[in-house]
Amino acid sequence: MFRKFVYLLALAREKHFGRAAESCHVSQPTLSNAIRQLEEELQVPIVERGQKFEGFTPEGLKVLEYARRIVGERDNLRHELLALAQGVTGHLRIGAIPTALPVVPHVLTPFTSRFPHIRSSVVSLSSREIQRGLDEFELDAAITYLDNEPLNNVRTLPLYTERYHLLARRDELPEELIAQGAVPWETAASLRLCLLTPDMQNRRIADTAFRMTGRTVEPAMETNSIVTLYTIVRAGNCASIVPGQLLTFVPPHPDIVALPLVDPELSHVVGLAYADRDPPPPLAKALAVAASDADIAQRVAIGVADAMIPWRVAIR
């Protein structure tokens, strides 16, 4: 029955019988027959059939939910058995919000040193996509916000605190404002801005901050990449709101200033999240163990403080 569940998950992922069969390296009749056999065994219709795949029946959605859980637990069992035989091995799949990507090396470096036989992959996702990935066993762990729109049914480990800066060309701001060393959110709202897209939680945090000052901002440009925010500012098209950790891996520019945002002075906790199951997923547990011993909060705080030094030099 495991194989039939795997075929069912492939159909849910691909939404096409032919592509699902190809992803499972079987013929389309083999996959279709296996799903029909599953329907006969469970005595319920699973797939809405027409000229092409049309979706799942209500019963099929319930079967799909159990299939994800069962296949996920099978994979966890395999990892635990391999760990007993060979030490921790496998493929760790991490989803990270875009603003956390600069911090990923702080998380993975101690992990790969401790568990060298684990292969890792990191994808940039919105927090809503991360929730879906964890729920559907497509992710082992995530790096996301813990205290703003928190995820459901997860265990968490705080990693660091995110704070926000205005990134703007020097000639867009009054010299006296630059000299103060900080910018009110209300002042930032009056600038031509490039912000992350609304599906990104960091954007919703910025929108909330603007509303707290009585302002609603319609950005001139939007992107789902924090690196693009920097390149847009550098090109002179817009100013932007960026997390402090972005400044740790983009080069300072003599014509650009990075100033903390105040009134209100916001911060949010970013951390590790993984499915709340017993026993916990072995790869996610291994990542949490390594991260908890790495003092990532201090590493990030020092990194941002060090990164701000050349930015401060640049604005003098």
**Cα–Cα distance between 302 and 170 in angstroms, integer?**
25
Q: For the domain 162-267+309-314, what is the CATH code?
A: 3.40.190.290
Percent of the chain at pLDDT > 90 equals 44
**Cα–Cα distance between 316 and 306 in angstroms, integer?**
17
Q: How confident is the model at residue 150 (pLDDT cuts 50, 70, 90)?
A: confident
Whether the per-residue pLDDT at 157 is higher than 90: the answer is: yes
Give the rounded distance of the alpha carbon of 211 from its chain centre.
25
Tell me what pLDDT residue 80 has: 62
Q: How confident is the model at residue 315 (pLDDT cuts 50, 70, 90)?
A: very low
Tell me what pLDDT residue 313 has: 46
Q: 62-102 pLDDT, tens per residue?
A: 888 888 887 777 776 666 655 544 556 678 999 999 999 99
Across 125-219, the runs of DSSP E, i.e. the strands, are: 141-145, 154-169, 183-184, 193-196
Tell me what pLDDT residue 187 has: 94
**Cα–Cα distance between 196 and 246 in angstroms, integer?**
13
Tell me what pLDDT residue 253 has: 87
Per-domain residue ranges of the chain = 1-70, 87-160+268-307, 162-267+309-314
Nearest to 196 by CA among 209, 210, 182, 207: 207
Nearest to 87 by CA among 316, 298, 257, 283: 283
**Cα–Cα distance between 278 and 88 in angstroms, integer?**
18
Cβ-contact 236, 111 below 8 angstroms: no
Whether the per-residue pLDDT at 289 is higher than 80: the answer is: yes
Cis peptide before 264 (omega within 30 of 0): yes
**Cα–Cα distance between 228 and 238 in angstroms, integer?**
11
Q: For the domain 1-70, what is the CATH code?
A: 1.10.10.10
Tell me what pLDDT residue 84 has: 47
Q: 182-198 pLDDT, tens per residue?
A: 999 999 999 999 999 99
Give the rounded distance of the alpha carbon of 191 from its chain centre.
28
Kindly calculate the radius of gyration of the chain based on its CA atoms and give it in whole angstroms: 23
**What's the rounded mean pLDDT across residues 270-291?**
87
Percent of the chain at pLDDT > 70 equals 93
**What's the rounded mean pLDDT across residues 110-129?**
89
Whether the per-residue pLDDT at 12 is higher than 50: the answer is: yes
Tell me what pLDDT residue 85 has: 42
Whether the per-residue pLDDT at 152 is higher than 50: the answer is: yes
- pLDDT averaged over every residue in the chain: 87
The two domains 1-70 and 87-160+268-307 share their CATH topology (first three levels equal): no
What would the two tokens of residue 229 be?
């925010």
Whether the per-residue pLDDT at 316 is higher than 50: the answer is: no
Task: Give the residue, 86 or 56, on which the prediction is more confident.
Answer: 56
- Options 3.40.50.720, 3.20.20.70, 3.40.605.10, 3.40.190.10; CATH for 87-160+268-307 is 3.40.190.10
Tell me what pLDDT residue 4 has: 85
Nearest to 140 by CA among 110, 119, 161: 119
Tell me what pLDDT residue 49 has: 77
**Cα–Cα distance between 240 and 183 in angstroms, integer?**
12
**Amino acid letter, residue 98:** P
**What's the rounded mean pLDDT across residues 48-61?**
82
**What's the rounded mean pLDDT across residues 231-257?**
90
Tell me what pLDDT residue 314 has: 47
**Amino acid letter, residue 130:** I
**What's the rounded mean pLDDT across residues 221-250?**
92
Range with lowest mean pLDDT among 54-58, 204-208, 263-267: 54-58
Whether the per-residue pLDDT at 242 is higher than 90: the answer is: yes
Tell me what pLDDT residue 210 has: 96
